């Protein structure tokens, strides 16, 4: 009883900071702009911002020399039970799914099982509109132009999701290859092709080629029984519980569940070039289509961007966004958003540094800009385009 009570007091003394089982060893991280941050300073800043913006839980990983230098979780995975968020807690990755899928596709490209520029219908046993999910495209032969490169660079011309459209129909918004337009539908079509070519499900392929080799034992495109003992619930802006969807069908565009520890491992592997040839990695992370627009989503998604975003050369690679930082060189990033979940990752390849943020709160993106600047020294991320309006300005 005395031992249990002592542990309880220790957890209270740490506030909502590090979860059970996390090391308390002091770590120093050097930011892009040369500042040296020690772990107590990092923890104080994160907790202060979380409290200000009413964020139940948040995970942070800082990567240095292409390795995970610092990994810490804060707050709760479940507000009602006060269960702590931990590095091994399963969280919804949302569009982190696309980055993992891009990595998988590039393995197939380097093995010459898939060609980025070969029309996708050549890999299928029947015309795309003859598949039930794509029957809406009957009569519009532009489906013949679609390629894997278009799907990964979000230039298919398909909408983000058909269910967002007024009539719930799938149709082209513009000619394939004409411009950038974020599209989950394009990734789902490429998933059909990949599964057909390999005669395996995305669940099987990702497990065999990525999750098992990288020892990401708590990551999957579908819900696993092993997740039941430790997973986070999502919360809206008022800290009302939204839960977590336990998907049974894999979706390349957005069904991934993962943990802070696992996804940080994945980012380090990408930085190190594991699983990809140097040429394949470079092709995946280079700028392939410019993004001259003010916002990623909404009515500003087709309006010309201010000069600052053009100067950063905001663009998209294969499954990843890219930009150029004036002092620090090329960077590639991926986010993941949904009601109750906000995630962001960015890697500065030339500097061998990166950052991962994962949260079970719709409020978390309110503090992302400040965390990027103060913890990584990243002032180049196009936060306006991302929609990362800081908490202070939104409040005012």
Q: Where are the domains of the chain?
A: 2-97+202-395
Q: What is the C-alpha to C-alpha distance for residues 358 and 157, in angstroms, rounded to an integer?
A: 30
User: CB–CB of 359/348 below 8 Å?
Assistant: no
- The candidate with the shortest Cα–Cα distance to 285, out of 336, 345, 332, 253, is 332
CATH number of 2-97+202-395: 3.40.710.10
DSSP string of 84-139, one letter each residue: EP-TT-BEEEETHHHHHHHHHHHHHHHTTS--TTSBGGGGSSS-GGGSGGGGGGTT
Residue 341 pLDDT: 98
The reply to whether the predicted model has a pTM over 0.85 is yes
DSSP 228: G
Q: How far is CA 63 from CA 73, 266, 354, 393, in A?
A: 15, 11, 5, 29
Per-residue pLDDT of the chain (396 residues; tens, 9 = 90+): 333 333 332 333 333 333 333 555 789 999 999 999 999 999 999 999 999 999 999 999 999 999 999 999 999 999 999 999 999 999 999 999 999 999 999 999 999 999 999 999 999 999 999 999 999 999 999 999 999 999 999 999 999 999 999 999 999 999 999 999 999 999 999 999 999 999 999 999 999 999 999 999 999 999 999 999 999 999 999 999 999 999 999 999 999 999 999 999 999 999 999 999 999 999 999 999 999 999 999 888 988 877 778 889 999 999 999 999 999 999 999 999 999 999 999 999 999 999 999 999 999 999 999 999 999 999 999 999 999 988 765 555
pLDDT at res. 310? 82
CA distances from 361 to 43, 56, 247, 333, 374 (A): 18, 6, 20, 20, 21
**What pLDDT was estimated at residue 9?**
29
Q: Which tokens is 202 given? A: 């995305």
Other Cβ atoms closer than 10 A to 47: 18
What is the C-alpha to C-alpha distance for residues 210 and 248, in angstroms, rounded to an integer?
A: 19
pLDDT reported for residue 394: 55
49: helix, strand or coil: helix
pLDDT of amino acid 122: 98
Q: What is the DSSP letter of 17?
A: S
State residue 5's pLDDT score: 31
The SS3 of residue 358 is strand
**Secondary structure (3-state) at 197:** helix
Distance, CA of 124 to CA of 121 (rounded, Å): 5
Which two structure tokens, joined as six digits, stand for 8? 């309880």
- The CA R_g of the chain, rounded to the nearest whole Å, is 21
Distance CA 327, CA 247 (A): 42
pLDDT of residue 65: 98
**Cα dihedral sign, 135-141-142-144:** positive
**The pLDDT value given to residue 19:** 38
Say what the pLDDT of residue 10 is.
33
- Per-residue pLDDT, 392: 64
- Cβ distance 182 to 336 under 8 Å? no
pLDDT at position 307 is: 75
What is the C-alpha separation between 297 and 304, in angstroms, rounded?
13
**What pLDDT sits at residue 79?**
98
Give the whole-angstrom CA distance, residue 99 versus residue 334.
Answer: 7
Angle at 141 between CA 136 and CA 145, to 5 degrees: 110
DSSP string for residues in 285-310 = HS--EE--BS-SSSGGGGSBPPHHHH
What is the distance between the alpha carbons of residues 375 and 61, in angstroms, rounded to a whole number? 10
Q: What is the pLDDT of residue 348?
A: 98
Q: What beta strand segments (E) does the chain contain?
A: 28-30, 36-38, 57-64, 67-78, 83-84, 91-94, 234-235, 241-243, 256-258, 289-290, 315-316, 321-325, 329-338, 341-348, 353-359
Query: Residue 335 belongs to what H/E stretch?
Result: strand 329-338
């Amino acid at each position: 009883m005395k031992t249990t009570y002592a542990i309880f007091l220790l957890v209270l003394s740490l506030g909502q900071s590090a979860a059970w089982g996390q090391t308390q060893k002091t770590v120093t991280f050097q930011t892009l702009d040369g500042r040296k941050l020690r772990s107590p300073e990092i923890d104080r800043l994160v907790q202060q911002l979380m409290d200000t913006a009413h964020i139940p839980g948040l995970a942070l990983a800082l990567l240095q020399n292409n390795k995970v230098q610092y990994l810490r979780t804060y707050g709760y995975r479940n507000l009602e039970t006060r269960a702590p968020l931990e590095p091994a807690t399963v969280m919804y990755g949302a569009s982190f799914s696309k980055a993992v899928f891009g990595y998988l596709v590039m393995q197939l490209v380097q093995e010459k099982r898939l060609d980025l520029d070969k029309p996708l219908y050549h890999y299928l046993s029947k015309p795309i509109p003859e598949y039930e999910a794509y029957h809406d495209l009957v009569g519009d032969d532009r489906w013949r132009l679609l390629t894997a490169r278009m799907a990964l660079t979000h230039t298919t011309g398909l909408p983000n999701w058909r269910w967002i459209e007024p009539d719930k129909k799938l149709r082209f918004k513009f000619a394939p290859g004409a411009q950038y337009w974020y599209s989950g539908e394009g990734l789902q079509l490429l998933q059909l092709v990949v599964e057909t070519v390999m005669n395996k499900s995305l669940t099987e392929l990702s497990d065999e080629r990525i999750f098992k080799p990288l020892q990401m034992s708590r990551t999957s495109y579908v819900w696993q029984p092993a997740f039941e003992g430790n997973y986070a619930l999502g919360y809206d802006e008022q800290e009302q519980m939204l839960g977590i969807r336990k998907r049974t069908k894999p979706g390349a565009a957005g069904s991934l569940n993962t943990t802070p520890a696992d996804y940080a491992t994945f980012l380090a592997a990408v930085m190190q070039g594991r699983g990809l040839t140097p040429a394949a990695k470079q092709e995946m992370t280079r700028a392939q289509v410019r993004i001259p627009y003010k916002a990623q989503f909404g009515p500003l998604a087709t309006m010309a961007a201010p000069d600052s975003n053009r100067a950063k050369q905001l663009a998209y690679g294969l499954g990843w966004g890219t930009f150029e930082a004036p002092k620090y060189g090329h960077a590639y990033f991926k986010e993941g958003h949904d009601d109750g979940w906000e995630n962001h990752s960015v890697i500065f390849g030339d500097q061998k540094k990166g950052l991962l943020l994962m949260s079970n709160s719709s409020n978390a993106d309110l503090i992302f800009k400040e965390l990027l600047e103060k913890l990584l020294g990243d002032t180049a991320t196009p936060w306006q385009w991302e929609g990362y309006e800081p908490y202070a300005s939104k409040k005012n």
